[in-house]
Structure 1
Amino acid sequence: MNILILCAQGGVAGSTYSISYLAKGLAEKGHQVFLGLKENTFLDSLVENSAVHRIYMPFKGKLDKKTRTIITKIIDKKNIQVINAQSSNDRYVGPIINLFRKNKILVVQTRRQHPKQMLGANKFFQNIFNNFFSDYLVTVSHELKKIFISRGIKAEKIKVIHNGTPTEQYIQNKRLSQQLKQNLGYTDDDVVIGCVARYKNQPQLVKALKYLPKEWKVLYVGLDEKSYRERFPDEPDILDVPQQVKCTGIIENKAEVIQYYTLMNVNILPSTMDGFGLALVESMAMGTPVVATNYAGIKDVVQHEENGLLYENENYEDLARQIEKAVLNTQLREKMIQIGYEAAFKKFSIQNTINNYESFFEEIIEARKSKKDLKIME
């Protein structure tokens, strides 16, 4: 297959890793994979020295003419069979190009996050765009699919393909873990409540801390204190809690990020925007129990009291109860660790994701070809 993947973003984020895994995985299986991206982004560095063909594009807005011109040339020159748009601005490019082409290109959008609430004209035009100008939507969870259907997207246009993670990367580096622990001033006796994410509604965790022991430690990986405070100008004391709190800031080295999980007694994702929650799978793979919001796609990943714990959104006492349970209930904790391993290494492996995308793309390309052949015969 000849596949063009588009990504206008590409900063340090779980979705960026996911896109790089997908592009490289499909290329390694022998497909011609072209990745339209911005130059010198984090995504650019992740696919460097791989079989993926990088095509630099400006992506200056949803209707950027220069980006459309580049894509049109690639479609014709490389015989592109399917376009897979992975972020906001690039979702508009393929359908707009198809408006002016006789030979239409299959356009597949991948949606990873909970969509913003839209009303009136915005919702009307978005639904027309998704239902009539895009061929398919891939959502990363069944719960996200339900949300898009409730917003007016046709169910038959949506395919669920879970995110995946490369299982070979989950090896504990005891020397690095010990170094990180020493740098943070932690001891083996400390209870550490962790959160590995950029901004994902961490104030819910902050508000739950008053119900938890003061001697426990709090660690935010991927968030720095300055930017965290700046998000809440009306709450200057947002981090002034009884527990010791430390922030690492953004960490680009995935091998290092993974080792932080080993310092934590529990990893918490208090998110209302995730369509999946890759950090939860990473945590499971490293043997750290998870607590997350009972919300949207997270429910595809975490089964309550099986491979993790769920709390009700904005119920801070419930969040605190679930955290205590994950830390103190030894029997439940061991059960969640074991089942979490199985989920991470079997159900949510990147190989499953790559295989599912490959099968789906082959299926829709063949269906389009059969439709054209039938039309010619008529």
Structure 2
Amino acid sequence: MEDKVAIIDPVGIKSGMNHYDTFLCNSLTKQEITPFIYSNFELHSDSVIAKRFFGTFFKNKFSQTLNFLMGMLKSCMDCRRNNISKVIIHVFSTHNMAVMTYAFCKLFGLKTITISHDVFSFTKQDNKWYHHLIYNFWSDRIVVHNSYSFDHLLPQIQSKMHSKVSVLKHGAFVDLPNRAISRNSARKSLGLENDRQYILFFGRLKPTKRLDVMLRAMPLIDASTHLIIAGHSGKDDFSKYQSIIDELDLSSRLILDINYISEEKRELYFKATDCLALPYELIFQSGVLLMSLSYGLPVVATKIAPFEEVIEDGQNGLLFEKGNFKHLAQQLNILMNNKDLMTDMTQNAINHMREDYSWDDIAKGYTSIINSL
């Protein structure tokens, strides 16, 4: 008899989680699991049932809250109608919306599989009581994506929960790139020069992502190389970065796209640029890293444990010492001035994603968890 599971994901396409949900559910169907997705995006599939119960952008907090509450009510009621007793919930921080998601699920008697993307928030949104409630009482099973997250989560939860925590990788995005879009066509669409090299800094800005380190590395990088910064500033104050840009006279070498980046534009950036920089000082796991490697876009990243679990230095990426902008510049220069190295890293990255980050393999782990509940 086939089991059923639903992913309740109010954030969805707004943070690129639509791809995670879709790839995971497609692979779950191969394990004789019938998956449902309740989120904010459309999905045309014969095997995965997706319902758009949540919105994406809102005029004010009231309309956002009302949409969320109605979306949760519709999701839980649809679970009941379809005899779904198990749901998957993404957790990035334990704020009001997170605890209300669990409250609805428990009110409807649903068993919850928590995917802990971030063991704790880097934006100071966590409520300690909510964290305690979600992880120790309202999670029937917990999934983390790497050993680093596992080691940091266990001391924060009760010992009774330790056996309920599983390490399952975040899957790759090797089937995501649009083959019809070439590097040249992407550059033309973005208005970029064909004979110039571009470094990409991508994603929502946060202090822990250390854009300042990337900016201070720029004067030490070949003057013909430009930097593209693409992502919403969120609650991070961009003026502090603008001060560095002005101090180092970098404006002529920067392309600033400080906005929400659409799916279509993200595709262009990952196709048009030469490498991705990830100077983060703290992270639990990075979808941007896995996406870059899946596209074959070479990566230069900080030498921190979560990245070291994915990147083999010199093979599928380059690492630099945390906070050391001089070392970052050195590694970027090594990469950008060696076409053979870039070509090798591109192929190594894609192969690594296909072989070690397969959603089909990951779905087997989720299937075991689902069947155990």
TM over 0.5: yes
Match of 1:164, SS?
Answer: coil
Gaps of 5+ in 1: 366-378
The whole-number CA distance in structure 2 between the counterparts of 1:258 and 1:66 is 32
Instruction: Report the Cα offset of residue 15 of structure 1.
Output: 2.9
* Match for residue 18 of structure 1 among 17, 20, 23: 20
The whole-number CA distance in structure 1 between the counterparts of 2:52 and 2:225 is 48
* Structure 1 residue aligned with 2:81: 77
The whole-number CA distance in structure 1 between the counterparts of 2:278 and 2:75 is 37
The whole-number CA distance in structure 2 between the counterparts of 1:95 and 1:263 is 41
- Alpha carbons 1:294, 1:312 under 8 Å: kept: yes
Please list the CA deviations of residues 18-63 of structure 1 after superposition, one character each: whole Å capped at 9, or x if unmatched: 12322344357653323233xxx4xx13x2556314162689669x
The whole-number CA distance in structure 1 between the counterparts of 2:133 and 2:112 is 15
* Structure 2 residue aligned with 1:358: 367
* Structure 2 residue aligned with 1:302: 311
* Match for residue 143 of structure 1 among 134, 137, 148: 148
The whole-number CA distance in structure 1 between the counterparts of 2:10 and 2:37 is 10
Instruction: Report the Cα offset of residue 206 of structure 1.
Output: 1.2
> CA 1:98–1:260 in structure 2 vs 1: closer, same or farther (change >3 Å)?
closer
Identity %: 17
* Structure 2 residue aligned with 1:158: 165
The whole-number CA distance in structure 2 between the counterparts of 1:290 and 1:113 is 22
* Match for residue 253 of structure 1 among 250, 263, 270: 263
* Structure 2 residue aligned with 1:177: 183
The whole-number CA distance in structure 1 between the counterparts of 2:225 and 2:123 is 41
> CA 1:313–1:15 in structure 2 vs 1: closer, same or farther (change >3 Å)?
farther
* Match for residue 2 of structure 1 among 4, 12, 16: 4
The whole-number CA distance in structure 2 between the counterparts of 1:128 and 1:273 is 25
- Alpha carbons 1:282, 1:344 under 8 Å: kept: no
> CA 1:263–1:60 in structure 2 vs 1: closer, same or farther (change >3 Å)?
closer
- Alpha carbons 1:309, 1:322 under 8 Å: kept: yes
* Match for residue 274 of structure 2 among 259, 265, 274: 265
The whole-number CA distance in structure 2 between the counterparts of 1:177 and 1:117 is 34
Give the structure-1-normalised TM-score.
Answer: 0.76
Instruction: Report the Cα offset of residue 84 of structure 1.
Output: 0.8
* Structure 1 residue aligned with 2:174: 167
* Structure 1 residue aligned with 2:199: 193
Gaps of 5+ in 2: 56-62
The whole-number CA distance in structure 1 between the counterparts of 2:128 and 2:357 is 32
Q: Report the RMSD for the aligned CA atoms in angstroms.
A: 3.6
Instruction: Report the Cα offset of residue 130 of structure 1.
Output: 0.8
- Alpha carbons 1:172, 1:259 under 8 Å: kept: no
> CA 1:16–1:144 in structure 2 vs 1: closer, same or farther (change >3 Å)?
farther
- Alpha carbons 1:36, 1:54 under 8 Å: kept: yes
> CA 1:146–1:25 in structure 2 vs 1: closer, same or farther (change >3 Å)?
same
Match of 1:237, SS?
Answer: helix
* Match for residue 49 of structure 2 among 40, 43, 52: 52
The whole-number CA distance in structure 2 between the counterparts of 1:57 and 1:180 is 31
Alignment of 1:223-238 (within 5 A): 223=231, 227=233, 231-234=237-240, 236-238=242-244
> CA 1:300–1:61 in structure 2 vs 1: closer, same or farther (change >3 Å)?
farther
| Paired AA for residue 313 in structure 1 | K
Range moving further from structure 2, 311-320 or 267-276: 267-276
* Match for residue 214 of structure 1 among 219, 223, 229: 223
Please list the CA deviations of residues 301-356 of structure 1 after superposition, one character each: whole Å capped at 9, or x if unmatched: 22222311222332222222221222235565454334212212221233333333
The whole-number CA distance in structure 2 between the counterparts of 1:257 and 1:125 is 34
Please list the CA deviations of residues 55-114 of structure 1 after superposition, one character each: whole Å capped at 9, or x if unmatched: 62689669x87666545534433222311112455643565357667xx53211112235
Range moving further from structure 2, 194-203 or 165-174: 165-174
> CA 1:326–1:36 in structure 2 vs 1: closer, same or farther (change >3 Å)?
same
* Structure 1 residue aligned with 2:253: 244
The whole-number CA distance in structure 1 between the counterparts of 2:281 and 2:162 is 23
* Match for residue 311 of structure 1 among 316, 320, 334: 320
The size of the alignment, in residue pairs, is 348
Please list the CA deviations of residues 261-313 of structure 1 after superposition, one character each: whole Å capped at 9, or x if unmatched: 34333211233564322332333233331112233533322222231122233
| Paired AA for residue 266 in structure 1 | C
> CA 1:11–1:94 in structure 2 vs 1: closer, same or farther (change >3 Å)?
closer
Q: Which has the larger radius of gyration?
A: 1
The whole-number CA distance in structure 2 between the counterparts of 1:30 and 1:90 is 31
| Paired AA for residue 73 in structure 1 | M
> CA 1:122–1:314 in structure 2 vs 1: closer, same or farther (change >3 Å)?
same
